[in-house]
């Protein structure tokens, strides 16, 4: 079917772009902000990057979920690398695509349940420069980076699973 190769390309590409975006926030953007931003700009600069991520990331996560979900459905009868594992073979394209389709959009509930308090404090700091000092702003951004690393892990895991599913199907 012509849609399968298209879904593979779009799914793996969207996952790769989203992985790069997420990694760049934690490993490039935020470390530079923590080292160079003065007290009155740190939270504002964090907020500017946060807004970019909040507007750019969801379409990629949705694309991944749709493509990998479709591919999981289409590959549900394909065998994996472990012929004796039966229906619980984690190497089947179905299992790999399902893991990708679930783990990548899982960044949304993680953000809502675990990151919102930190996000809210940083947004308050961005709106009210004198709400707390540089040390607290730096601590909040550092905490945000640590929480964000879970999202990075979910997206990278999903990317690898989706790519492996594409290779094995």
Over the stretch 42-52, which tens digit does the pLDDT of each residue have? Answer: 899 999 999 99
Provide the whole-model pTM: 0.91
According to the 3-state scheme, what is the secondary structure of the chain? CCHHHHHHHHHHHHHHHHHHHHHHHHHHHHHHHHHHCCHHHHHHHHHHHHHHHHHHHHHHHHHHHHHHHHHHHHCCCCCCCCCCCHHHCCCCHHHHHHHHHHHCCCHHHHHHHHHHHHHHHHHHHHHCCCCCCHHHHHHHHHHHHHHHHHHHHHHHHHHHHHHHHHHHC
* Four-residue CA torsion sign, 49, 52, 56, 62: positive
Over the stretch 92-149, which tens digit does the pLDDT of each residue have? Answer: 999 999 999 999 999 999 999 999 999 999 999 888 866 567 788 899 999 999 999 9
Task: Give the Cα separation of 87 and 73 in Å (integer).
Answer: 15
Cα 162 to Cα 3, 58, 127: the distances in Å are 16, 18, 40
- How is residue 152 written in tokens? 């990075």
Task: Give the Cα separation of 162 and 67 in Å (integer).
Answer: 9
- How is residue 12 written in tokens? 């793996």
* Four-residue CA torsion sign, 126, 128, 129, 134: negative
Cα 159 to Cα 19, 43, 101: the distances in Å are 7, 30, 9
Predicted local confidence at residue 137, as pLDDT? 86
Predicted local confidence at residue 62, as pLDDT? 96
Predicted local confidence at residue 58, as pLDDT? 93
């Amino acid at each position: 079917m012509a849609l399968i190769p298209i879904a593979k390309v779009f799914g793996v590409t969207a996952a790769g772009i989203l992985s790069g975006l997420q990694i760049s926030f934690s490993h490039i953007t935020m470390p530079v902000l923590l080292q160079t931003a003065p007290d009155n700009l740190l939270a504002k600069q964090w907020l500017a990057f946060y807004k970019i991520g909040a507007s750019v990331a969801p379409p990629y996560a949705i694309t991944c979920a749709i493509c990998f979900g479709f591919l999981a459905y289409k590959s549900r009868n394909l065998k994996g690398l472990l012929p004796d594992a039966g229906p619980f073979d984690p190497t089947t394209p179905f299992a790999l695509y399902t893991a990708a389709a679930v783990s990548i959009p899982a960044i949304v509930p993680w953000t809502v349940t675990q990151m919102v308090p930190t996000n809210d404090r940083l947004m308050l700091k961005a709106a009210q420069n004198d709400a707390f000092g540089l040390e607290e702003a730096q601590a909040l951004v550092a905490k945000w980076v640590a929480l964000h690393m879970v999202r990075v892990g979910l997206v990278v895991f999903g990317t690898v699973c989706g790519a492996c599913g594409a290779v094995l199907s």
